[in-house]
Structure 1
Amino acid sequence: MKLFSNSINFLEQGLDYSSLRQKVISQNIANVDTPNYKAKDVSFRTEFDQALQSQMQAKKTDPKHLDFKYGQSSMISIEEKNNTSYNENGNNVDIDNEMSLMAQNQIYNQALVDQLNNEFNSLKMVIRGGK
């Protein structure tokens, strides 16, 4: 019997991504005036979508074996944006874009937290016997 659905694992990975992205965006904003600083971004969504489609399965020789968990370290990576330059000092941080990305990330994070709360509320209802 499977106790937790894969959705909790996926939501956890999404929250890890959102947390790291918030740190990277904050770092970009903090370095807006640093000469030759190149903005960074976090890559995750394409790998996440591929993982959802492939649904990796572990080969079980016993029904009591646990399911495979995705390794989050291989799914999330930080990439430097080298293709632009907004300032004459070599810095490519666009403060308006970074603030917009931060707002988007906060909305994304809150949606994941709300969904995770729904998952746990469903589990609580099952544990209480539907009450």
Structure 2
Amino acid sequence: MALFSGTIQTLESSLNYASAKNRAISNNIANVDTPGFKAKNVEFRNVLNDEMTASLESKRTHEKHLPFNHLNTDQPFRTVSRQHTSYNHNGNNVDIDKEMAELAKNQIYYQALADRISGKFNSLKTAVGGGR
């Protein structure tokens, strides 16, 4: 039996995503003056398509066809570098204004998730305590 119909697991995954995004943004800000540094971004992959593709049985009719079983659905996000841009003369592509705005947005998102999961645990606490 899954408590709250899997809501806590979804919130946990979302908190992990927000934490990874915060680490990437903080690293970008810390390296704003590092020559040649390429900013990193955390992308949220299409989890539904990955799940559907991973669960489908398929037959490869040619060895050059892509296999379906190579997808990692345990981690619905990934960190990628922005390689093909350069904002500074030293090859660095960190836009400090964009990073600060993304950091503020991500902090609000994380706090909303933390509040929601706290509410779920308080509901569980109330139910265990007999409604008190």
Common fold, TM-score beyond 0.5? yes
Amino acid paired to 2:95:
D
Q: Residue 3 of structure 2 aligns to a residue in which SS?
A: coil
Query: How big is each residue's C-alpha offset from its partner over 1:1-49, in whole Å with a ceiling of 9 and x where there is no partner?
Result: 44343110010011111111111111101111111111000012x435x
Counterpart in the other structure of 1:47: 46
* Unmatched 5+ stretches in structure 2: 56-71
- Greater Cα offset, 106-115 or 2-11: 2-11
What TM-score does the superposition give when structure 1 sets the normalisation length?
A: 0.77
The 5-angstrom pairing of residues 49-128 of structure 1 reads 50=48, 71-73=73-75, 75-128=76-129
Aligned-residue identity in percent: 48
Amino acid paired to 2:115:
D
Task: Give the Cα separation in 1 of the matches to 2:129 and 2:106.
Answer: 35
* Unmatched 5+ stretches in structure 1: 58-69
Q: Give the root-mean-square deviation of aligned CA atoms.
A: 2.4
Task: Give the Cα separation in 2 of the matches to 1:8 and 1:122.
Answer: 12
What TM-score does the superposition give when structure 2 sets the normalisation length?
A: 0.76
Paired residue total: 114
